[in-house]
Chains A and B, each alone.
Chain A
Amino acid sequence: MEGTKEPMTEATSAAPVRAHDGNGEFIKFAEVSKRFGSNVVLDDLSFSVGAGERVTLIGPSGSGKTTILRMLMTLLRPDSGTISVNGEYLFHEERGGQLVTASESHIRRVRSKITMVFQQFNLFPNMRVLRNVTEAPVHVLGKPKDEAAERAKELLALVGLGEKLDAYPSQLSGGQQQRVAIARALAVDPDVLLLDEVTSALDPELAAEVLDVLRDIAKTTDVTMLLVTHAMKFARDVSHRVLMFNQGKIIEDRPPEEMFNEPRHERTQSFLRSVIDET
C-alpha cells in the first residue's frame, strides 16, 4: 500500500505554520529549482500569486510552465526552494522549530484545496460521468452521496452536460470529456485551479466550447487560477497577469493587455509572433 493508512477525510489539526501571510502571496514560490538530469527546468525561481488572481504562464515548451503546475499539484517535487499555499508550506512542515520534509498527511491537507485539469482529461474510464464528479466529494470531503450528486448535477449543467450523467467517458467527445473534467475539479471546492494546456488535445471547435465554459467560471467564481495555455486570446480575456517563461526563469510579468500589445522583452516578442502565426 502506498503511503500510510489514512482516514477518508481529515480534520484540520493544529495551527498551521504560516509561511507568510497576505492575500498578495496566496501561492508563493521561493527560490525554487528543478532539474531533470542535466536539464535545468526551473532556475531559482521566485514569484507569487494573489488570492483570486488568474495568472497565465506562457513561454516556449520546456521553459518550465507545466513544471510549475505539476509541483503545485505535488506531482513533482522541487529540488530546492519552498512552495507555499495559503500560508502553508506544501513540501515542508515545522517540527521542533525546524523546517523538515512534510509528511504525506501534511501534503494531503495542504493539497486538499488545490486541483488540476489535465491536457488529456484523465477522466476515470471505469466510472460514469456523474460518479467521476462525485467520487472525490464523497470519498475525500465526506459529503453525503445525495448531496454530492445534487452538486455534481449542478456543475455538469453548468458545463453543458446535464444530459450526460450516465454516459461513460468513452462515449463522449474530447470537448465533452474535458468539460466533465472541469466539473470534477470544481466539485472539490478548490481554492486553486490549475489548468494545464486543457485545450491542446482538442480540435479548435471543441476547444472553443471548453474555453467558453472556463470564461464563465472565471467570471462567476473567485477561484485562483494558474493556466498554461497556447490560446492567447483566451489568456488575454481571463487572466489578470501573464508570466513569460524562458529557460526556467520569468522574463516578463505584466497584465495581459500590456504583455500582448507591447511585449518588452525581445524573447517575448518572438514567442508571441510564433504562437500567433500558429493560430
Chain B
Amino acid sequence: MNWDWDYVGSMMPDLLDGLWTALLATIFGFLLALVLGLVFAILRRSKTAWIRVPIGFIVEFIRGTPLLVQLFFLFFVLPDFGVQLSPLASGIVGLGVHYATYTSEVYRAGIDGVPAGQWEAATALNLPARRTWTSVVLPQAVPRSLPALSNYLIALFKDVPQLVAITVAEPFTVARGIFADSFRPFEAITMAGVLYLVTAFVLSYLGRIVERRYGTVRV
C-alpha cells in the first residue's frame, strides 16, 4: 500500500471542514457541560429533597447510559416528540449533557474541598445563598476543578467521532465518505486520526495554560 500525497492533498479541504465542525461540537458541547454541570452540582446540594433527589437520579441515569444511545435518542427519537434538531445541534446537546454529568462530579469534589469555615463565615456575615456561591464558594471550588475539567475537554473532543452515528460531518464521517468513493481508506482514516491527535495536543496545551493562569488557589 503506497501513501499517496496527492490524494491526501485533495482530501484536506474537506477534512479541515470536518475538523472545524468537530471543534464547534467540542467548544459548544464543553461550554454546555461546564454550565450544566455546575447547575447539577449546585442543585444536588439543595436543602430541598424535591430538587436534590430527582436531579441526582437524572445525573446518575445519564452517566450510566452510553453516549451513543443518547445521541441516537436525541437525533432519531426526539423528532417523534416534535423536537427536530440538526445533526450538529444534537451532537452538541448530547455531548454537553453527557459530559455535564462528569463535570458535575468534578465541581462536587471542588465544592466539598471548600472548608466548612468558609460557609460558616458566610453565615456569620449573613450573605445570601446566591452571593455565598458566587463570591465565596465557587471562586475557591472552580480553580481546584480546572485540571480535571481540562481532562474532560480532551475526553469530550475524542468522543466527537461518535457523532458519525448521527451524520455530523466531523473528520471521520468525512473520511468515510471519501474512501467510500475512492476505496482507499488508508490515507483518509490516517489523516482524520492525525487531525484529532494534533488538535488534542493543542487543546491539552491550552488547558494547561488555563490551569496555570487560573488554577491557583490561595489558602
Contact = CB atoms under 8 A, between A and B. Distances in A.
Interface SS, B side: helix
B29 to A, nearest CB: 25
B219 A140 contact: no
A136 to B, nearest CB: 4
Interface string B25-50: 00000000000000000110111000
Contact of A122 (B46, B118, B126, B133): B118
Interface stretch (A3-11, A212-220, A265-273): A3-11
13 contacts: A2-B129, A2-B132, A5-B130, A8-B128, A74-B123, A111-B123, A112-B126, A118-B121, A125-B219, A139-B127, A140-B126, A168-B218, A169-B218
Interface residues of A, number: 34
A1 B135 contact: no
B124 interface: yes
B117 interface: yes
A227 interface: no
Interface of A: 1-3, 5-6, 8, 73-75, 108, 111-112, 114-116, 118, 120, 122-127, 135-136, 139-140, 168-170, 184-185, 188, 194
B140 interface: yes
Contacts of A73: 120, 123-124
A2 B123 contact: no
Given A2-B46, A124-B136, A135 B123 contact: no
Contacts of B140: 125-126
A140 B127 contact: yes
* Contact size range, B: 20 to 34
Closest 3 CB pairs of A and B: A136-B125, A122-B121, A122-B117
A13 B217 CA distance: 40
Contact of A170 (B117, B123, B124, B219): B219
A125 B131 CA distance: 16
B128 A115 contact: no
Interface string B102-124: 00000000000001011011011
Contacts of B126: 108, 111-112, 115, 136, 140, 188
A139 B135 contact: yes
- Of the candidates A74, A120, A126, the one having the most CB atoms from chain B within 10 angstroms of its own CB is A126
